[in-house]
Amino acid sequence: MAVALMASIWFMVLKVVLILFLVIILFILLVVGIVLLSPAKYKIRAEKYNVIKIESNISWLFGIIRVLVLYDDGKHSYNIKIFGVNYNKFNHYEKEKHKDKKKENLDYNLEGEKHEEKDISKDTGKKTSGRKEDKTTRKEDKKSKENRKNSTGSQQNSWKRNSKETNSSGKIHKKETKKAKPKKKENNDEKNNGRWQTISKIKEFVFADNTKGVVGTAKNSLIHLLLKIKPRKIKSDILFGTGDACLTGQALGAIAVYMAVTNTVLNITPDFENRVLKGRLEVLGRIRAASFLLAVLKIVLDRHWKSFYRDLKKVKEEII
C-alpha cells in the first residue's frame, strides 16, 4: 500500500510539472506568434504649399506601442506611447534630475571658492609681516651669487688656456662620428604585385558562382519584401513641374510605370512650363516582422550560403 501511494504521488507530481512545462511552451509560442504576425500599421501625411509638413504615425501590437513623428518647417518632434503612457515624460524627468545634480555641484564649487578666498586673505596678512625679513635674505643671496660668478669665470679662463695648449701639441682625440646607415629602399614592384593579387582575389570572389547564387536569392527576397511592405492606400493631389517639358514628360512616364506595376493610382497634374512641386500625399500600409524573418531565412538557408560565407572570411583575412 505504501509503495502504491508513493508511486501515485510521484505520478501526480510529474503530471503537474509536465502540464506547467507545456503551458510555458504554449505561452512562449503565443507571444512569438503575436510578435511576428501582428502587423505594424503606418500612416504618413505630407504636404507642401508654403511650408513642408510631415506627420507619421506607427502602431504595433494592437496599439500597445505607438510612435508619432512630426516635422513642421525645420522643426521636428516625436512621441512614444507604451500602454498609453508617454515615454517623453520619463525622459523629461531624467533631464530634470541631471539639471538638479548640476546645480548642486555648482553650488558646492562656489562655496569652496569662497572658503579659499577667505584663507588667502588671512595668509596675505601674515606675509606682509615677513616681507622685511625677505629683503635682507635677498641681499645676502645676491652677494653670494656674485662671488660664485667670479669664481666660475676664473675657472673657465684657465680651462680655455689648457685647451689651446693641448690643441697646439695635437693631443686631443677626435670623437668618432657614427655614420648613418643607409635606409633600405622598398621595392615598389613587390607592393604592386601584392595589390594586383588582392584585386584579382576580390574579382574572383565577386564573379564566383556562390556569390551570384546568394545575390540572386537576396534580390528575389528583397522584391518579395517590397511587395509586402508597399502601401495599400495612397491619396494624392500634386502639382508637378520641372521647368523643362521633356523632363516632366519622362518623369510622368516613370510614375505611370510605377502605378502599373504596383496597381496604385496617383492624382498628379503636370505643369510643363514652370518648376513647381505643391500638394499633399497620404500613405497607408502595414508591415509584419514575419516577412523580414522569412527574407533573412531564404538567404541563410540557400545552398550557396555556406561556401559564400567561407570565401568571404578568406578574402577578409587576406585583405587585412
Asked whether the beta carbons of 166 and 172 are under 8 A apart, the reply is yes
Angle (nearest 5°) at CA 125 between 123 and 129: 115
Q: Quickly list DSSP for 36-78.
A: HHS-EEEEEEEEESSSEEEEEEEEETTTTEEEEEEEETTEEEE
The pLDDT of residue 94 is: 52
Domain definitions of the chain by residue range: 206-319
| Encoded amino acid at 133, one letter | E
Q: Could you tell me which residues come within 8 angstroms of residue 239 by beta carbon, excluding any fewer than 6 positions away?
A: 269, 271, 276, 277, 278, 279
- Lookup: cell for 313: 572570411
Q: How far apart are CA 168 and CA 170, in angstroms?
A: 5
The pLDDT of residue 77 is: 87
- Residue 271 DSSP code: -
The residue to which cell 517639358 is assigned: 245
Sequence-ordered alpha helix ranges (H) in the chain? 2-37, 87-129, 131-169, 188-206, 209-229, 245-262, 289-300, 305-319
pLDDT in tens, the chain (320 residues): 677 778 888 888 899 999 999 999 999 999 999 988 888 999 999 998 888 899 999 998 888 889 999 998 888 888 888 887 887 655 554 555 555 555 555 655 555 555 555 555 555 554 444 444 455 555 555 556 565 655 555 555 555 555 544 444 444 444 444 444 444 445 566 667 777 878 888 888 888 888 889 999 999 998 888 888 888 888 888 998 988 889 988 988 988 888 887 777 888 888 888 888 899 999 998 888 888 899 899 888 888 888 888 888 888 887 76
The b/e string for 32-53 (b: 16+ C-beta within 10 A; e otherwise) is eeeeeebbebbbbebbeeeeee
Q: How far apart are CA 104 and CA 110, in angstroms?
A: 10
Q: Quote the distance between the C-alpha of residue 87 and its chain's center.
A: 22
Tell me the angle at which helices 2-37 and 289-300 cross, rounded to the nearest 10 degrees: 100
Q: How far apart are CA 200 and CA 315, in angstroms?
A: 11
| Encoded amino acid at 152, one letter | T
The pLDDT of residue 29 is: 93
